[in-house]
């Protein structure tokens, strides 16, 4: 008994000291400037024409104009003691700690509505101690300056309802009605989303959302907001979702917005807290026409509803990303595959190998023998790449033909001839900084690279030799128009303009009918749709389809595949190519090749060439004009096979 009294006395002293400390902090906070929260967490995004296209909190709505059902559901679920504490529910914190210690995890949370509003006033959600201390301090300041109703109003206008910020925007997005009109069923389903917007979105995880709704309705009954029969009726109510009508029509534009926010979080000049800005005006590079074209082409061509998609439309001359999608539907998956995912890039890596080859003395006529080949290395190791559909010339082919058919044997021979460091060095030069493995398969795109990083690399080919970084944000200001950040364009010359021109011309062979022979050009099927001249390279692995193509006005890169790396089908590759050409053609409608193709450098000459052999064309042969640095145009064949130690084989069981 004596020990218990001693413990009780000690506990009371701790409580008194803690209370006095908190009171002192509270009084100090009372004398600090009042934070501005109305409009906070407002992301006002403007497109490339400076027109507002979306914002994080479209309309600030007063608490009196929000459905009581939604207000009560939020309080009952998130913070039932909201009106009785001063920013921190200490008993709830102790209880959560005890549960977490018992369960040996950290799943039980105890954040109050005030604390959550404090988090919403920051640009990101880093879980550092410094950040937590700042959040706690802001929570105290909020409680010292604002009434409970004002804090609740701020919370409901800034919380995340599945990529839609603020209850008024969420209400219109999910149900196409004002938040004042929400019934109990609708309010209880929306109130469940903020706990985990991905897990509890009714558009993507309806079953999870219904389970969460059931718990919220039980909580409302327990806390005497509603009766049991009202809860049952609300749970069984037939919800009708508008699936985003009344908000953004595009299922994909939210991916662009997520890329903007990702870039914003990395800009050091932007204050970390909205309390310093009152909201942000973000002027982006979004071209709404390009975004619409990207989505319409996807809906038209990507008929496999289970496959995922990523795509980027970019101005290669300045790095402005005009349109982007990171998936088929943001409502179903918020993961942005265009900027977050790294996949094997397949043959789309070959243009950088061949630029290096041209730089090291190759020409469009340089030949290697295309046949099934085993490459032998030290230690008894061998490597046997295969061509698509096992088609080989069984003789020498030109570099132009190798590009047209995407010949894998030619690529590996080139890679080994140049030395295994040549391609990694080239890739680093154009902005791909992976830790490359010196393997022969690198020439066939075995490396995993993000789509946006590949766009950076391809832009240096599309803009005739300059390194530019893809970017989404032109300028950021506070709500008063004060500039907080402005992008500065600094292109860096990294490639030879004449060599790039020759490579770009070679990349038109991928759809040139003159190369139809023992094999067919990889993009020949889409050539009837083309009214412009393009440099194009597609790539296919077992699990990925990619295509990059461009002229001097536009660069478009696309990917399809499965998140679980399931094998892709040949039809998926065909569909992707059709999507690509539809995007290019629609966006460039009304322009001519004089507007969009490159001028031939003065030191470059075009020669009519036999496509396969690389020799000067004769009257009997097919002819395609290929380009050379003056003085390097062909007079006879340049065969390099003897330099590469190889063994011809006939065994069909060798793996690629």
First-to-last C-alpha distance (Å) of the chain: 79
3 state SS for 451-502: HHHHHHHHHHHHCCCEECCCECEEEEECCCCCEEEECCCCCEECCCHHHHHH
Q: What Å distances lie between residue 414 and 64, 246, 350, 384, 605, CA to CA?
A: 71, 55, 10, 15, 24
Backbone angles phi, psi at 499, to 5 degrees: -65, -40
Distance CA 551, CA 459 (A): 10
Quick one: tokens of 271?
Answer: 């204050």
> Are 646 and 409 contacting, i.e. CB atoms less than 8 angstroms apart?
no
Half-sphere exposure (CA, 13 Å, Cβ side) for 415? 26
Distance CA 186, CA 544 (A): 40
> Are 616 and 496 contacting, i.e. CB atoms less than 8 angstroms apart?
no
Distance CA 315, CA 194 (A): 37
Distance CA 463, CA 319 (A): 10
How does DSSP assign 238-249, residue by residue? -----TTTTS-S
Distance CA 215, CA 208 (A): 11
Q: Are strands 43-46 and 280-284 parallel, antiparallel or unpaired?
A: parallel
Query: Catalytic residue numbers?
Result: 78, 347
Helix (H) or strand (E) holding 646: strand 646-648
> Are 35 and 138 contacting, i.e. CB atoms less than 8 angstroms apart?
yes
325-347 b/e (C-beta count within 10 Å ≥ 16 → b): bbbbbbbebbebbbbebebbbbb
Q: Is 590 helix (H, G, I), strand (E, B) or coil?
A: coil
- Maximum C-alpha span of the chain: 113
Residue identified by tokens 């998140």 is 563
Q: 380: exposed, middle or buried (C-beta count within 10 Å: 0-12, 13-18, 19+)?
A: exposed
DSSP state of 641: G
Give the closest residue to 56 by CA, choosing from 112, 136, 121: 121
Q: Is 638 helix (H, G, I), strand (E, B) or coil?
A: strand
Distance CA 162, CA 190 (A): 10
Distance CA 626, CA 614 (A): 9
Q: What Å distances lie between residue 613 and 196, 401, 513, 523, 598, CA to CA?
A: 61, 8, 16, 21, 26
Q: Is 395 helix (H, G, I), strand (E, B) or coil?
A: strand
> Are 265 and 124 contacting, i.e. CB atoms less than 8 angstroms apart?
yes
Residue identified by tokens 């989404």 is 472
> Are 567 and 586 contacting, i.e. CB atoms less than 8 angstroms apart?
no
Angle at 243 between CA 242 and CA 246, to 5 degrees: 60
């Amino acid at each position: 008994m004596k020990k218990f009294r001693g413990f009780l006395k000690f506990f009371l002293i701790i409580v008194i000291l803690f209370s006095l400390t908190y009171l002192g902090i509270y009084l100090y906070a009372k004398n600090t400037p009042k934070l501005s929260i109305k409009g906070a967490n407002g992301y006002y995004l403007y497109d490339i024409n400076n027109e507002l296209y979306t914002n994080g909190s479209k309309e600030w709505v007063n608490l009196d104009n929000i459905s009581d059902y939604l207000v009560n559901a939020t309080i009952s679920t998130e913070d039932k003691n909201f009106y009785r504490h001063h920013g921190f529910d200490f008993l709830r914190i102790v209880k959560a700690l005890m549960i977490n210690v018992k369960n040996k995890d950290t799943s039980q949370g105890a954040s109050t509505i005030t604390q959550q509003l404090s988090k919403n006033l920051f640009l990101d959600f880093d879980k550092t101690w410094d950040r937590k201390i700042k959040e706690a301090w802001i929570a105290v300041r909020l409680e010292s300056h604002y009434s409970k109703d004002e804090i609740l109003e701020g919370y409901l206008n800034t919380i995340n309802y599945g990529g839609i910020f603020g209850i008024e925007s969420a209400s219109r997005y999910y149900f196409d009605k004002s938040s004042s009109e929400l019934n109990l069923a609708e309010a209880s389903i929306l109130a469940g989303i903020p706990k985990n917007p991905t897990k509890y979105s009714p558009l993507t995880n309806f079953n999870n959302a219904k389970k969460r709704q059931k718990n919220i309705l039980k909580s409302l009954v327990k806390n005497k907001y509603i009766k049991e029969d009202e809860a049952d009726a609300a749970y069984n109510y037939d919800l009708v979702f508008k699936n985003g009508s009344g908000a953004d029509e595009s299922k994909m534009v939210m991916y662009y917005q997520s890329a903007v926010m990702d870039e914003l979080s990395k800009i050091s000049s932007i204050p970390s807290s909205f309390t310093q800005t009152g909201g942000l005006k973000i002027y982006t590079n979004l071209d709404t026409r390009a975004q619409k074209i990207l989505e319409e082409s996807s809906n038209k061509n990507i008929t496999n509803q289970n496959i995922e998609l990523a795509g980027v439309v970019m101005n290669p001359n300045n790095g402005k990303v005009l349109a982007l999608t990171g998936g088929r539907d943001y409502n179903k998956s918020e993961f942005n595959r265009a900027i977050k995912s790294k996949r094997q890039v397949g043959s789309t890596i070959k243009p950088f190998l061949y630029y290096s080859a041209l730089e090291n003395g190759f020409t469009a006529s340089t030949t290697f023998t295309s046949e099934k080949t085993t490459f032998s290395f030290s230690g008894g190791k061998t490597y046997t790449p295969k061509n698509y559909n096992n088609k080989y010339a069984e003789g020498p082919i030109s570099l132009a033909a190798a590009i047209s058919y995407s010949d894998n044997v030619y690529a590996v021979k080139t890679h080994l001839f140049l030395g295994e460091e040549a391609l990694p060095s080239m890739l680093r030069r154009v902005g791909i900084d992976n830790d490359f493995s010196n393997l022969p398969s690198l020439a066939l795109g075995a490396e995993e690279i993000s789509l946006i990083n590949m766009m950076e690399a391809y832009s240096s080919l599309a803009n005739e030799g300059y390194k530019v970084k893809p970017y989404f944000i032109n300028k950021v200001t506070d709500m008063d128009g004060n500039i907080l950040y402005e992008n500065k364009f600094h292109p860096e010359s990294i490639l030879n303009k004449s060599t790039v021109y020759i490579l770009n011309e070679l990349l038109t062979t991928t759809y040139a009918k003159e190369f139809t022979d023992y094999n067919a050009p990889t993009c020949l099927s889409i050539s009837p749709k083309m009214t412009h001249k393009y440099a194009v390279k597609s790539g296919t692995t077992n699990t990925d389809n990619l295509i990059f193509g461009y002229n001097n006005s536009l660069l478009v890169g696309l990917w399809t595949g499965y998140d679980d790396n399931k094998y892709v089908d040949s039809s998926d590759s065909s569909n992707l190519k059709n999507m690509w050409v539809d995007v290019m053609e629609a966006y460039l409608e009304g322009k001519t090749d004089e507007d969009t193709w490159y001028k031939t450098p003065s030191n470059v000459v075009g020669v009519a060439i036999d496509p396969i052999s690389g020799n000067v064309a004769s009257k009997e042969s097919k002819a395609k004009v290929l380009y050379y640095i003056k003085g390097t145009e062909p007079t006879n064949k340049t065969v390099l096979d003897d330099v590469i130690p190889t063994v011809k084989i006939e065994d069909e069981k060798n793996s690629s």
